[in-house]
Amino acid sequence: MSDITVDVAVIGAGPAGIAAGVGAKKAGAERVVIFERDWDLGGILQQCIHPGFGLHIFGEELTGPEYMHRWISKAREVGVEFLMNSMVFHMEDDGSFWIMNPSLGIKKVTPKSVVLAMGCRERPLGALGIPGTRPAGIYTAGTAQRLVNMEGYMPGNKVVILGSGDVGLIMARRMIWEGAEVLGVYEIMPWPGGLRRNIAQCLDDYGIPFHLEETVVEIHGKDRLEGVTVAKVDMNRKPIVGTERLVGCDTLLLAVGLIPENELSRMAGVAINPVTQGPYVNELLQTSKPKIFAAGNVVIVYDLVDWVSKEGERAGKNAALFAAGELKEPARKIKILGGSNVRLYSPQWLSGQADATIYMRVAQPIEKRCKVIVEPGAYEKQLRYARPGEMSEVQIKAEYVQSLGDVAEILVDIREA
């Protein structure tokens, strides 16, 4: 069990992790190694074969694999090392961790700094407490996407989709292309969970019925799924008696939310925000453990991969500075508070050492001109609209934070203009 020593260790070779590797290398770190549990690089984007990635970073619409290919080439150019098929399964609170790999066996890795980039996972059926049987044919949308796009297998023929997260919307279209019947998408909330453009391009263009404020209330079938009962819900998201109807189907795909995957972070004692379910971070993407940084969907679930890559680079850069002993102890620690219409936001702290980007998701949609406000004073940003399925962001200059004097907290909110 000899040790592996590295300067910056990155856990996960998805968009956040690879960008972190690039960022760390560019900032001068000597040995940067990305540990990946899969056989291939790219994380979830390997299976996202539809276009729509990279508009902000590359100025063109790429597929997931194309987008990752550019980043992987960049990482190879700057000399990032990869260790594939290596599951990090235990992390100590000093940031050292254990990996397992069939050819290396069990190894301990002791890095000078770590970037957590494990991404997120899909919420399973069990988390919803839907009554009924538990037959075959119930998949999360991402698992179905892997089966169809990477393994070449069909999970089913007559499909109902519960939840309108982006992966679910993309899979609705994908299943139609493969000859399956998609009977409808059911969303318990009054607004879609995913991007507006995906509603248009994946549902509307294919005539797939989209039912807002409806949900699945019972599951039928002993061996294979035979049908689901759907019902309308009231304002408290409780099913309305008398609105139930049976939809015959052999497959139920779930797109009911993504949860940051923070088992390792918790093992290492990193403080986790119960709302985002990701680590508390400052604008350097440093967690409550100074040596440990985090970026991407492990921190907060993003809507666009471009933001994930940008944040990954930022975390990598700061991790490299930390490894070189060049990152100062933050002189200031200003807490960011979310206003009444900000459901999720990250970072939660500012140190004033660098310019910051605050990413937010609103609780209630605002379908007209609105603004991001940062109090006290100084900051305002105009938005055309704000929707829970899409993130809003605001840039904050380091000088602003330094100019705050004795202020211990700032507030961000999104309000009607």
Partner 1 sequence: MHLRLCLSPFLNCFTGYKVFGGDFVSTRYYDVIVIGGGIVGSTVARELSRYDIKVAVLDKASELPSGASRANSGMVHAGYDDEPGSIKAQFCPKGNLIYKNLREELDFTLNEVGSYVCALDKDEIAHLELLLEQGKKNGVPSVEIISGDELRSREPNASREIIAALWAPTGCTINNFEAVLAFMDNAQQNGVELFLETEMLDVILSQDKRQVVGVKTNRGMFLSPIVINAAGVHSDEVARMVGDDSFIIHPRRGDYFISDKYVGNLVKSFFFACPSEAGKGITVASTTDHNLLMGPTSIFQVDRNKTATTAEGLDQVIEGARRLIPPIPINMAITTFAGLRADPDTGDFVIGILKKPHGFVNVAGIKSPGFTSAPAIAQHIVERMKNELKDLVEFKPNRKFVPERRHIPRFAYLSMEERSDLAKEDPRYAQIVCRCESVTEGQVIEAIRRGARTVAAVKIWTRAGAGRCQGGFCGPRVIDILARELNIPREEVTRHGGHSRMLVGKTKEYWFREGRL
Applying CB under 8 A, the span of 7-15, 145-153, 328-336, 338-346 interacting with partner 1 comes to 145-153
- 166 makes contact with partner 1 (CB under 8 A): no
Among 60, 61, 92, 178, binds partner 1 (CB under 8 A): 178
Q: Rule CB under 8 A: say whether 124 interacts with partner 1.
A: yes
Instruction: Count the neighbouring beta carbons within 10 Å of the beta carbon of residue 122.
Output: 20
Distance CA 312, CA 71 (A): 11
CB of 157 to partner 1, least distance (A): 6
Q: Judge contact between 256 and 163, C-beta under 8 A.
A: yes
Q: Which of helix, strand or coil describes residue 281?
A: coil
Q: State phi, psi for 316 to the nearest 5 degrees.
A: -60, -45
Answer yes or no whether residue 46 interacts with partner 1 by CB under 8 A.
no
Pick from 51, 132, 269, 365: which binds partner 1 (CB under 8 A)? 132
Per CB under 8 A, which region of 7-15, 70-78, 125-133, 391-399 contacts partner 1? 125-133
Residue among 79, 104, 240, 246 that touches partner 1 (CB under 8 A) = 104
Strands 120-122 and 258-260: antiparallel
Q: Judged by CB under 8 A, does residue 368 bind partner 1?
A: no
Q: In this chain, which of 46, 85, 110, 201 binds partner 1, going by CB under 8 A?
A: 85
Single-letter code of the amino acid located at 229: T
Q: Which of residues 55-84 bind partner 1 (CB under 8 A)?
A: none
Exactly one of 66, 81, 213, 218 binds partner 1 (CB under 8 A); which one?
A: 218
* Selected range binding partner 1 among 133-141, 201-209, 314-322, 349-357, rule: CB under 8 A: 133-141
CA distances from 313 to 37, 115, 178, 229, 285 (A): 21, 10, 37, 46, 10
- Residue 139 as a binder of partner 1 (CB under 8 A): the answer is yes
Could you say which DSSP state residue 87 is in?
E
Place of tokens 């899909």: 122
Nearer to partner 1, 98 or 191 (CB): 98
Cα distance between residue 305 and residue 259, in whole Å? 16
- Rank residues 171 and 356 by Cβ distance to partner 1 and give the closer one: 171
Instruction: Read off the tokens for 348.
Output: 């939660």
Give CA–CA dist 311/320, Å, rounded: 14
Of the CA atoms within 13 Å of residue 66, those in its CB half-sphere come to 13
Q: In whole angstroms, give the CA distance from residue 308 to residue 73.
A: 18
Which residues contact partner 1 by CB under 8 A?
1, 37, 85, 87, 89-90, 98, 100-106, 121-122, 124-129, 131-136, 139-140, 142-143, 146-148, 151-157, 178-180, 217-220, 222-224, 239, 250, 263, 266
